[in-house]
């Protein structure tokens, strides 16, 4: 007598639902909170933040363990959905985990990701650490893959949101330190000399400093040409790589 073949068992865990995976990640992170270390993190921020106090190696190791599974099971859409869910939480580490996992899908990035990124920057990525991470891990790789995104950065540079403006600058840092997109870097930097936000002055100074790594002569000429228009915070960041005597000279001639 022939027995009826049973259908192959379905491995439901192979493609975990986004809500379940988000809950697992949030619980894992919160179970390892370190209140004492979390209090120390606050000193790096002017505004109050919520932190769990987990160190970077722990976070990166956990992210790697998650993405090893998720890369094989998920598409970019699900990774983006997970990031969106984690960005709704208050804790820095939970939101940062969303960015880390999304970055593992950079081979699948599409230009439309900027449409998702802008609302995140306007409402959920609300401090310099999260914005720096998001730019370095997501937006810079996106621009690397799709050079036309540069036009979007020029639009963002004039946005009302501080963090959207900041992202336009910080995304270019990766390229400026390699001598790429320097015309855009200098153009956007100049736009923000009149910005009222000190954080923008710091971001612009960082961008200019990196631009000077491959062409110090151009940076020096730019600083001398614009002189008094440059916020002093921006100038001090920009000249950090120059020899001491040249830094002193530039501080004088740009007054």
Domain chopping of the chain, boundaries:
15-108
User: What percent of the chain stands above pLDDT 90?
Assistant: 92
Q: Which two tokens stand for residue 186?
A: 């200098």
**pLDDT by residue (tens digit) across 119-131?**
999 999 999 999 9
Do the beta carbons of residue 178 and residue 204 sit within 8 Å?
A: no
Which two tokens mark 44? 């790096």
Tokens 């612009």, located at residue: 204
Q: In this predicted structure, what is the pLDDT of residue 13?
A: 47
pLDDT value for 8: 42
Look at the block and give the residue holding tokens 């932190």: 51
Burial class from Cβ neighbours inside 10 Å (0-12, 13-18, 19+) for residue 217 reads: exposed
Reported as type and span, the H/E element at residue 31 is helix 18-31
Task: Report the distance separating Cα 37 and Cα 176, nearest Å.
Answer: 34
Banded model confidence at residue 15, pLDDT cuts 50, 70, 90: confident
Residue with tokens 């697992």: 24
Flag the least confident range among 38-42, 185-189, 219-223. Answer: 38-42
pLDDT at 134 > cutoff 70: yes
List CB contacts of 233: < 8 A, sequence separation 6 or more. 198, 201, 202, 205
- End-to-end, the C-alpha distance of the chain in Å comes to 97
pLDDT tens track for 142-200? 999 999 999 999 999 999 999 999 999 999 999 999 999 999 999 999 999 999 999 99
Q: Residue 162 CA to chain centroid, in angstroms? A: 14
Residue 245 in tokens: 């005597």
């Amino acid at each position: 007598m022939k027995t009826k073949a049973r259908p192959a068992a379905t491995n439901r865990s192979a493609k975990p639902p986004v809500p379940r995976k988000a809950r697992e990640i949030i619980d894992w992170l919160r179970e390892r909170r370190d209140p004492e270390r979390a209090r120390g993190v606050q000193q790096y921020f002017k505004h109050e933040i919520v932190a769990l106090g987990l160190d970077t190696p722990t976070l990166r190791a956990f992210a790697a363990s998650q993405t090893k599974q998720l890369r094989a099971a998920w598409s970019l859409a699900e990774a983006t959905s997970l990031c969106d869910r984690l960005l709704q939480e208050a804790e820095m580490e939970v939101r940062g985990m969303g960015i880390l996992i999304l970055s593992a899908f950079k081979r699948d990035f599409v230009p439309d990701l900027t449409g998702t990124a802008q609302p995140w920057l306007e409402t959920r990525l609300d401090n310099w650490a999260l914005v720096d991470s998001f730019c370095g891990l997501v937006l810079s790789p996106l621009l690397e893959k799709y050079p036309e995104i540069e036009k979007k950065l020029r639009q963002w540079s004039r946005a009302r949101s501080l963090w959207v403006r900041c992202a336009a600058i910080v995304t270019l840092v990766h390229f400026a330190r390699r001598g790429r997109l320097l015309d855009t870097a200098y153009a956007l930097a100049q736009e923000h000399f009149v910005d009222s936000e000190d954080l923008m002055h710091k971001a612009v100074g960082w961008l200019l400093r990196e631009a000077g790594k491959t062409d110090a002569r151009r940076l020096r000429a730019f600083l001398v040409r614009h002189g008094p228009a440059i916020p002093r915070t921006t100038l001090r960041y920009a000249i950090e790589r120059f020899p001491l005597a040249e830094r002193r000279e530039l501080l004088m001639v740009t007054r």
